[in-house]
Amino acid sequence: MFQELQRRTPLGWLQLTHEKGRFLVALAGIAFADVLMFMQLGFQSALFDSNTRLHRSMQADIFLISPQARNLANMSSFTRRRLFQAMDIPGVKSADPMYVNFLDWKNPQTGKKATVLVAGFQPNKSAFDLPEVISQLSKIKLPDTVLFDRAGRGDYAEMISTVDTGKSVSAEIDRRTVKVSGLFKVGASFIADTTLMTSDQNFLRLFPRRDAGSVSLGLLQLQPNTDPVLIANQLRSYLGNDVRVLTKEEFITFEREYWQTNTAIGFIFSLGVGMGFLVGVIIVYQVLSTDVNAHMKEYATFKAMGYRNSYLLSVVFEEAIILAILGFLPGVTVSFGLYAMTRNATNLPVIMTVSRAIQVQIMTIIMCMISGAIATRKVQSADPADMF
């Protein structure tokens, strides 16, 4: 079979390269469709990853949240008593509260307002598995002191440089002055420009109307060699209906599904991928259809010589596969550059992955094969009589 392929004349390649201008335009069109799909998939992945980075860094095996909670931006609250009750279950090592809310703060450098996520927790141990936070717990024990996310979105270079030298920077939050005394790194998200971490007492000073007995999250750590799924099921049976129990994976999925199914932005990114795919199908079909029309007499001659339709169809599919492979290369190259530009401009995790490149390559091949299948209808209608 391999020897037969070697002896076979690369008719599809010869036809495509015969009109080099049209061939280059076709590759550009496929590359454009690939870039559309890459960017939409990149934005969608950044949406999910950026909004779950904080979840993944939280130091807990099981999470308690309010049944009314929709995502981290809309957590609602539940009574702190549920955390004490959770300690009754064998295997639960600790149950700690976390307070989460959003507010506007004034950029110390520019004076512009920005939306920040504030997380407050007991400073006797870190609620986050972040070395920078763990090593600076003593700082947030001080009144009106916060840690700042150095990977946040905005112009904070001067402030970060000052804090790196060991000095504090004053900032205004809702008519209250706080000191930025330390830094950590998580990154911006679609819901907040940056994140501040502080103690539970400092959090309650920033939100004086917030009741200390109403918490946003319950962070449960389990004893070693304990099954989180088993303990979670026991907690669901033991605790009241005013609290929801999630394992860490379920908590991440909870946030991801909100953005994927309950928001317009998740649908828009999925629609963008579909639109890019459809654009590619139309472009490749136009190229192959034009090529088939230009060589219709040649196809009719092949039929007169005894070639079957299957051979003629294989030529068109050969062209489709060549276009898919060669058009993908400039598409992925341009996407690498656009990913880097977007990442630098927004601090969002827009990163090219091998799995995404393979996914788009497969979609490109399918896209070109669909176009080829539509274009082959004209090849099947070729008649030797058309020669004359």
Distances (CA, A) of 113 to 78, 109, 153, 196, 353: 30, 11, 12, 15, 34
DSSP code at position 365 = H
Nearest CA among 253, 252, 232 for reference residue 243: 232
Per-residue pLDDT band for 105 (boundaries 50, 70, 90) equals: confident
Q: How far apart are CA 117 and CA 110, in angstroms?
A: 19
Per-residue pLDDT band for 1 (boundaries 50, 70, 90) equals: very low
Q: Name residues whose C-beta falls within 8 Å of residue 224's C-beta, 6 or more positions apart in sequence.
A: none
Nearest CA among 243, 281, 294 for reference residue 371: 281
Distances (CA, A) of 280 to 15, 95, 119, 182, 361: 20, 53, 45, 49, 12
CB atoms within 10 A of CB 360: 26
CB 92 within 8 A of CB 227: no
Tokens of 285: 């079909």
Residue-level pLDDT at 219: 95
The answer to whether residue 97 scores a pLDDT higher than 80 is yes
Q: How far apart are CA 290 and CA 292, in angstroms?
A: 5
CB 106 within 8 A of CB 172: yes
Length of the chain: 388
Pairing of strands 194-199, 113-121: parallel
Tokens of 283: 């472009």
Per-residue pLDDT band for 337 (boundaries 50, 70, 90) equals: very high
CB 357 within 8 A of CB 328: no
Q: What integer is the mean pLDDT of 266-290?
A: 82
Distance of CA 291 to the CA centre of its chain: 39
DSSP H or E stretch at residue 183? strand 176-184
The answer to whether residue 199 scores a pLDDT higher than 80 is yes
Distances (CA, A) of 199 to 126, 137, 173, 222: 10, 8, 16, 23
User: With pLDDT > 90 as the criterion, what percentage of the chain qualifies?
Assistant: 41
**What is this structure's pTM?**
0.78
pLDDT digits (tens, 9 = 90+) for 20-72: 877 888 888 889 889 989 998 998 888 888 888 899 999 999 999 999 998 88
DSSP H or E stretch at residue 307? none
Tokens of 46: 């950044």
Q: What integer is the mean pLDDT of 174-192?
A: 87
Q: How far apart are CA 384 and CA 115, in angstroms?
A: 71
Q: How far apart are CA 286 and CA 33, in angstroms?
A: 14
Name the residue with tokens 């009574």: 79
pLDDT digits (tens, 9 = 90+) for 115-150: 889 999 999 988 999 999 999 999 999 999 999 999
The CA dihedral of 339, 341, 345, 346, to the nearest 10 degrees, is 0
Per-residue pLDDT band for 234 (boundaries 50, 70, 90) equals: very high
CB atoms within 10 A of CB 374: 15
Q: Name residues whose C-beta falls within 8 Å of residue 333's C-beta, 6 or more positions apart in sequence.
A: none
Which string of b and e fits 88-98 if b means at least 16 CB within 10 Å?
Answer: ebebbeebbbb
Tokens of 335: 């996407």
Q: How far apart are CA 52 and CA 72, in angstroms?
A: 9
> Which of the two residues, 285 and 40, has the higher pLDDT score?
40
Tokens of 361: 């390559």
Which sign does the torsion angle of CA 317, 318, 323, 328 carry? Answer: positive
